[in-house]
Amino acid sequence: MKPVKLVRFFARLEPYAVHEENAVLLDEVSELLYTTTRYARTLLGDMQKNDWLQWTPKTGRNQRSILKKLYSEADIRRQIALDFISQKQFEEALEVLQDNQQLFGELLKQSSGAGLYNGQLHVQLTYNRTFGALYPHNILRNSERFFVRQLYSCLVKQDAKGNISPDIAHHWQMSEDGKQWSLYLRPKVQFHDGSPIHGQAIVELFNAYRKLPGYKKDLSHLLRVESPQSRVVRFYLSTEDVDFVSKLSDVKYSIQPVNQVTKSITKQKDVIGSGPFTLLEQSDKWLKLRAYEAFHGYRSLTDELTVWHVQSENGGNSYSHKMLSQQTEDDAKSAAAPTKQLCVEDGCLLAVFNQNASKELPTETRRWLAHVIQGEALWQDIEKNKVPINLVAADNFYPFWKPWECVAGTKPTAFRGLSILIYNHFGLRVCAQAISNVLAKYDIEVDIEEVPIETYAKRAKGDGFTQDIVLMNLLLDDNLPTSALLAFQSDIALRSCMNDKTSQWLDSNLTALCSKVQSTHYLERLEPIGNYLISEVIAKPLFHHMQSMSFQDMFHGVDMTPWGWPDIQQIWLED
């Protein structure tokens, strides 16, 4: 009998304790199992073969046999479910677990990793929330940026030191005046739907990109794009840009069909990319990717990836006194105990003082606030309330820049209230509540508005924000120098908080930088610009996220990416 059916009979032996020798009559057992004595012997024999129990029959009238259960029903159901999960029979696993979604999620975590199935390498991971639409031109969270990198390619690649290498374009050259860039495309490169990636497709895509709010700043000097031949694309610029090609390595410039930019697409299954993986399915249950066989580069070693949505232990709860009061001492110890390897992310969680607020805060008030809400003070409040989050106080935008502070100010006597805007992100929520708690000591009331990231993006692209402070994340990708440049140049949330004077100053400095500086030197030349924004109390870096290397022990010899996910293209098994 199959285990999934046999366990139903085992469940009827519930009156017998586990790990205890029970002296029983076969008639008693058959009565519990609702079967004949003959069939009861068969069932007990099957259970013994599966090592669920030990059955020592005694012969003779009224002789009691010995029945010893080795496992509980719950343990057996877990093991059967794990076997089903290993065979990718997920519906059967849920059935044997009696549709217990929480237990199913725990078993998915337990069974995460790589395995061979029908001769193909499948990788299964879990994540604590669903993903938004995986389009390069959307505002993306850190994990979504990682998956966009798997689904799309760019014209070129850039490493963390700023070195450029080929991708869809195999060669490029700049004119003597730095105002014309020619890129030469590989032959027979295709989108995932089989349509060709030729010069005209690139022209149409960049003409669509340049109309979007998040692209207007960094493409403001782009006069036109042309394709004189099917495998040649030329970018004509109004000002000199000696490393324009490096910008084309960014996630936001991923190559996709133009209709994904110009049309309103809501169905996740409609995603068409150009990268090493295609999107099989995206839902509230999971994200599934498959290696793209016609990829123009090295084919992924992983054949298929499934990322299950499994709710985290804190369930995305808000950081509030109610939640914290419900937390037990054991919960707090568990949250505080480091169980995974951590490293400091290159990005930053920062407070931006909104120069376009309903009523802009005076400079002296901003200086006072910037010193009161420093990362160290906020972290003391977070630790005091035993919030399960890993952060490190920031002294500048990026952890590799030198510490920088603004001049301290004095608290205005009439200052009694402050408004903060965040989107639905646990780190931002924690930070906003810590600011509120710290300022409460100074009798300052803080009004926190939390909106979905889509609403946050819509406001940034539209009429802007009205709150005094906007909390945000500046995220850096694998193309570190260009990613840092574009964070200042075109992050729509950051730029929507700047008035015309600040925007003009920033644009002028970034244009001058791009006209003379190679991307390998972007980071050192961007640092004084970041310092100015801190000195003028336009932005206040608060924390760097401590990135949890959640999957590092799972895949030995596989590099972890800047987003905290394993390099799924390089996962392999010896057998």
Which CATH number belongs to the domain containing residue 509 in this structure?
3.10.105.10
Residue 312 has a pLDDT of 62
The CATH number for 229's domain is 3.90.76.10
Strand, helix or coil for residue 556: coil
Residue 324 has a pLDDT of 32
Are 251 and 352 part of one and the same domain? Answer: no
pLDDT at 332 > cutoff 50: no
pLDDT at 265 > cutoff 60: no
- What does the alpha-carbon distance between residue 180 and residue 144 come to, in Å, rounded to a whole number? 33
Task: Note whether residue 409 is domain-resident.
Answer: yes
8 A C-beta contact, residue 366 and residue 536: no
Domain containing 355 equals 342-548
Q: Which amino acid is at 23?
A: A
Task: Note whether residue 519 is domain-resident.
Answer: yes
The count of C-alpha atoms lying within 13 angstroms of the C-alpha of 427, restricted to the half-sphere facing its C-beta, is 22
Where among 216, 240, 266 does a domain terminate?
266
Are 364 and 494 part of one and the same domain? Answer: yes
Q: What confidence category does residue 319 fall into, taking pLDDT thresholds of 50, 70 and 90?
A: very low
Task: Note whether residue 176 is domain-resident.
Answer: yes
Are 66 and 78 part of one and the same domain? Answer: no
8 A C-beta contact, residue 36 and residue 43: no
Task: Note whether residue 331 is domain-resident.
Answer: no
Q: Which amino acid is at 250?
A: D
Average model confidence (pLDDT) across the chain: 89
- What does the alpha-carbon distance between residue 187 and residue 34 come to, in Å, rounded to a whole number? 70
Dihedral angle sign, alpha carbons of residues 118, 87, 116, 124: positive
DSSP structural state of residue 284: S
Strands 539-548 and 180-185: unpaired
- What does the alpha-carbon distance between residue 212 and residue 208 come to, in Å, rounded to a whole number? 7
Residue 320 has a pLDDT of 35
pLDDT in tens, 20-35: 999 999 999 999 999 9
8 A C-beta contact, residue 112 and residue 87: no
DSSP structural state of residue 49: H
- Please tell me the pTM assigned to this model: 0.84
pLDDT at 499 > cutoff 60: yes
Q: What confidence category does residue 100 fall into, taking pLDDT thresholds of 50, 70 and 90?
A: confident
Q: What confidence category does residue 271 fall into, taking pLDDT thresholds of 50, 70 and 90?
A: very high
8 A C-beta contact, residue 255 and residue 168: yes
CA distances from 8 to 47, 379, 459 (A): 11, 51, 55
Edge-to-edge strand list for the sheet holding 169-174: 169-174, 180-185, 232-237, 222-229
Residue 260 has a pLDDT of 94
For 190, other C-beta atoms within 10 Å of its C-beta total: 15
Total count of domains within the chain: 4
pLDDT in tens, 174-185: 999 999 999 999
Task: Note whether residue 334 is domain-resident.
Answer: no
pLDDT at 464 > cutoff 80: yes
Residue partners of 225: CB distance under 8 A and separation at least 6: 202, 203, 206, 207, 233, 234, 235, 236
Are 247 and 168 part of one and the same domain? Answer: yes
Are 431 and 525 part of one and the same domain? Answer: yes
Strand, helix or coil for residue 171: strand
pLDDT in tens, 361-387: 999 999 999 999 999 999 999 999 999
- What does the alpha-carbon distance between residue 96 and residue 10 come to, in Å, rounded to a whole number? 13
Are 43 and 161 part of one and the same domain? Answer: no
Residue 339 has a pLDDT of 40
C-alpha 133 chain-centroid distance: 12
| Mean pLDDT, residues 76-88 taken together | 88
The CATH number for 59's domain is 1.10.10.10
Task: Note whether residue 222 is domain-resident.
Answer: yes
Are 202 and 348 part of one and the same domain? Answer: no
The residue whose two tokens read 């995603």 is 271
CA distances from 26 to 6, 36, 56, 59, 536 (A): 18, 10, 11, 10, 85
Backbone angles phi, psi at 552, to 5 degrees: -65, -40
The residue among 341 and 320 whose pLDDT is bigger is 341
8 A C-beta contact, residue 440 and residue 324: no
pLDDT in tens, 500-543: 999 999 999 999 999 999 999 999 999 999 999 999 999 999 99
Are 261 and 370 part of one and the same domain? Answer: no
Are 469 and 386 part of one and the same domain? Answer: yes
Are 7 and 98 part of one and the same domain? Answer: no
Percent of the chain residues past pLDDT 70, beyond the cut: 92
Where among 266, 301, 328 does a domain terminate?
266
Tokens encoding 385: 């309330």
The residue whose two tokens read 């044997």 is 96
Q: What confidence category does residue 59 fall into, taking pLDDT thresholds of 50, 70 and 90?
A: confident
pLDDT at 60 > cutoff 80: no
| Mean pLDDT, residues 388-412 taken together | 92
Task: Note whether residue 163 is domain-resident.
Answer: yes
- What does the alpha-carbon distance between residue 223 and residue 235 come to, in Å, rounded to a whole number? 8
Are 99 and 157 part of one and the same domain? Answer: no
| Mean pLDDT, residues 145-159 taken together | 97
pLDDT at 291 > cutoff 70: yes
Residue 552 has a pLDDT of 57
Task: Note whether residue 27 is domain-resident.
Answer: yes
Are 365 and 505 part of one and the same domain? Answer: yes
* Nearest alpha carbon to residue 274 among 215, 332, 182, 201: 201
pLDDT in tens, 415-444: 899 999 999 999 999 999 999 999 999 999
